[in-house]
Amino acid sequence: MRKLLISLVTLITLFTACKKNSFEIEKLPIEVGEIKNHILNVKQAEKIAILHSMYPDVLSKESTQNIYNIYGNPKQHPQKQIKSSFALKEGQTNPTLYILNYEEGGFAIVSGDDRMTPILAYSDKGSFEMTEIEKLPPGVKHWVSSNHRFIADIRSGKQKEDMASKSLWQDFKDKSELTKGNNAVLSSRPNCSIENEGESYAFNYTNGASSKHDLGSRYWI
């Protein structure tokens, strides 16, 4: 009986500790840090992906009407953790794209340069496994290659900066502040949500097959 009691106490202690650790992870402030010379490192890309999992929508005054819970705190989705990451260079000194898969399922493709839209594509389900562009299905290969070239051209001066990206990067700075409990950033947001300007494609990336269609607003996969 005593052994059983000790075992039960041990299990309860472990369960409580796990819940506490989980809670602490959820509440951990996420600081992206200074992006030097427009180049993101892998840790910064991971934090952008985690912030996106918590706050997938662009913040705005319009959206803040429903962003608070009954306790007056900003609503957030459960924080996902990074399972794996892949940095695409393809001849560049620094990565142009980061492909990040979540432990809980889903993935995000993050720009390696802050002169381009932060989140280039994402999914709440599945994963994006990649070792090199040439092994991707044709449609997905074209999309990845196009974004890689666009960022490479921005760095070489052949392409102008994506002007819509500035407000979207500021959006992630504000989301970072929310994780620190600074809700005041919501009052400075624009009146309506800002979408990524330009072409957007959705890929059905299942079992090696892919297709694409124009969505007209934002990159999705």
User: pLDDT tens digits, residue range 139-155?
Assistant: 999 999 999 999 999 99
Q: How far apart are CA 67 and CA 59, in angstroms?
A: 9
In the predicted model, what is the mean pLDDT of residues 182-197?
Answer: 56
**What digits encode the pLDDT tens for the residues 109-139?**
999 999 999 999 999 999 998 877 888 889 9
Q: Residue 65: is its pLDDT beyond 70?
A: no
Residue 135 is predicted with a pLDDT of 84
Of 172, 61, 165, nearest in space to 115 by CA: 165
Residue 77 is predicted with a pLDDT of 83
CB 69 within 8 A of CB 143: no
Token code pair at residue 93:
């000194």
Of residues 207 and 8, the one with the higher pLDDT is 8
**What digits encode the pLDDT tens for the residues 25-49?**
455 789 999 999 999 999 999 999 9
Does residue 119 sit in helix, strand or coil? strand
Residue 182 is predicted with a pLDDT of 81
Q: How far apart are CA 187 and CA 172, in angstroms?
A: 15
What residue ranges in 36-189 does DSSP mark as E strands? 82-88, 97-102, 107-111, 119-123
% of residues, the chain, pLDDT over 70: 64
Bridge partners for 203 per DSSP: 212
Phi first, then psi, for residue 28 (nearest 5°) are -65, 125
C-alpha angle with apex 170: 49 to 165, nearest 5 degrees?
A: 80
Helix axes 42-54, 165-179, angle to 10 degrees: 80
Please tell me whether the overall predicted TM-score, pTM, comes out greater than 0.85 for this model: no
